[in-house]
Each structure stands twice: as structure tokens, then as C-alpha cells.
Amino acid sequence: MSQRIDSYRPAGSPAGWSRVGDEVRRVVHLADPQLPYKARELLSALAKLALFCNTEGLPGNAEVWLSREVIERFIAVGCPNLREGTRGNYRSRLLRLSEIVLGGECRTGKPAKLSASVPNSPYSRTELADLWGWASGQPTEELRWGCRTLMGLGLGVGLDSPEVIPVRVHDIRRASGGTGPVVVVTRGPREREILCRRPWEGVLASATDRLDAPGSARYLFRPNCYSRGSNTVTNFLDRTHPSPGVPRLVMGRLRSNWLVELFEERLPITVIVAAAGVDTLHGLSRILPFLRAVPAEEAARLLRGGQ
């Protein structure tokens, strides 16, 4: 059994496996599966989670991957094309591994939490300004447009990497004869229409205009890349030039900024859930630590309601 685990490698040689493979095998060894099919099941589920976390920019560390928050995000966001039963099986296997690695509870008796620096935390205003300057300063037009388009889709409509990849030019339209709000139609299991935030309407409109003439069916992000997979965004960002002091561009963090803005502008929760493309409030709970506290007087007024 040990040799079977040590020789495991996901099909297709996915990018990032060299960074997470050893940790995946280490954790499955800890689980000590007694049957070959059990080993395969655990390896497959953990490998998918580890590669998702690598795409999100999380550390290559099972203690981070197997926290409840990350597992639930993976099930909600990282498995968009899987049936509910398959997603449930992945959740069960990963929670079993979580109990083995984290012991069910930390020594403090509290569940493991992600640090404030993980990619799902929102960027500060300064960091966003630095990111825009970094995007606009990339050495080629392709890199500049690609980075700005990612920022527009993340901060403007809250898309994450799997939703960015299939978006085409004709999925973005401007109402009222080109002067109204920008509307983005997503594809896949979470298909919906989202109105873009005002500050990012011009970015998405410009990205669309430059590609509209050759054919509206072209992809919006990386329009000349026809071989598209789950690593399309990651592989693109790996080609960008880093800048000292500027954080990495991570779609999960941009989506967090978008969600925080919606909550703090007090949109009805039903509107936020629909725009975010989630079925429950659980997927939004990770945003709560980043929301500003409401002063006591204002909280009292809101709780009491109108006369």
C-alpha cells in the first residue's frame, strides 16, 4: 500500500503538483488506508483540494488545506461541474483527513483558523492601488489587458477563477444603448446575471470593445488562448512580472473585496446571495471577520426599526 501511495500522481500532470504532491502523500500515509480503493479515494480528493489551494495561493500545508473553511470553499467553488453526491463524498473524505491531521480540535480546543494574510482576506485600498499600478506597468499589452480584466471581473462582479475562464465577449453587455450599467452573464452551474460595480464598468467595457470587432464569441480573458483548463488564470499570472511590495493578484481576494463592499453598503442579503451565486449563507460567513463594526447607537437604531 505504501508503494501505491508514494507513486500516486493525478492524471494530466496538472500544474502545481510538484509543489503539493509530497504533502498529499504524507497525509494519506497518516490516514493508513487498508484497501487500495480507499487509498485512491483519499489521494484523489486530497489532490484536488491541494491543487485548488495552490491555485488560490494558499501555503502548501495540509493544516491549512484541511481547515473547515477551506474545505467548504473548495466544495462550493472548486467543484463546479460535479454532481451533489460526488461533492458530498469529497467533503466526507476531506473531513476525515482533517480529523487525522488536526485531531478534530486544536490543542487550544478551538478549530484551526486561517491567518489574516491568506488570499481570501480583502486587499486594503493601498494594496488595490498598488495592484492597479502593477497591472498597468506589465511589459506587454497582453499582460496589461489580462491583469486589468482580471481585476475588473473580480472587483466589479465578484467572479473567481473558474468563472473567469469561460466568459466570452458577448457575455458582457451595456444596457440602454451603451450608456447604461454593464451586465455580465456567467456560465456553468452558477449561471446568473450580475451588474458590475460602477468604478469597474469602464474597465470591462474597454476590455470588451477591443475584442468586439473580430468576433463577439471570443473569450474575454486571454482571447488568443484556445486550450483552456482549470489552470488558465494561474498559468497566466505565473508569466507576469512581480513588483517589490505589491501583493500577488488572487481572484479569491478580489471577490472578498467585492463581497465586503456589498455587505457594508447594506444590500439585502438575498441580493448578495443571488449575485454571489451561492445557495446558502455558509459560503459567505468567511467575510464576517472583515466587516467594520457598527457603532452602538447606530446598531440600536437599526435593531429598533422605524416608528
Residues 79 and 176 in one domain: no
Tally of structural domains, the chain: 2
Q: Is 306 part of a structural domain of the chain?
A: no
Cα–Cα separations (whole angstroms), residue 100 to 10, 20, 26, 104, 239: 22, 18, 12, 7, 37
Same domain, 80 and 133: no
Per-residue pLDDT of the chain (307 residues; tens, 9 = 90+): 677 888 888 887 788 898 899 999 998 888 877 667 678 888 999 999 999 888 888 888 888 898 888 888 888 888 877 777 788 888 888 988 888 777 654 333 343 333 333 447 899 999 999 999 999 999 999 999 999 999 999 999 999 988 999 999 989 988 766 678 999 999 887 889 999 999 999 999 999 988 875 445 789 999 888 878 878 898 899 899 999 889 889 998 999 999 999 999 989 998 998 999 887 776 677 788 788 887 888 888 888 886 5
Question: 131 and 276: one domain?
Answer: yes
In a domain, 295, yes or no: no
Q: Do 15 and 145 sit in the same domain of this protein?
A: no
Domain that holds residue 94: 2-102
Residue 146 lies in a domain: yes
Q: What is the pTM of this model?
A: 0.63
The answer to whether residue 23 sits within a structural domain is: yes
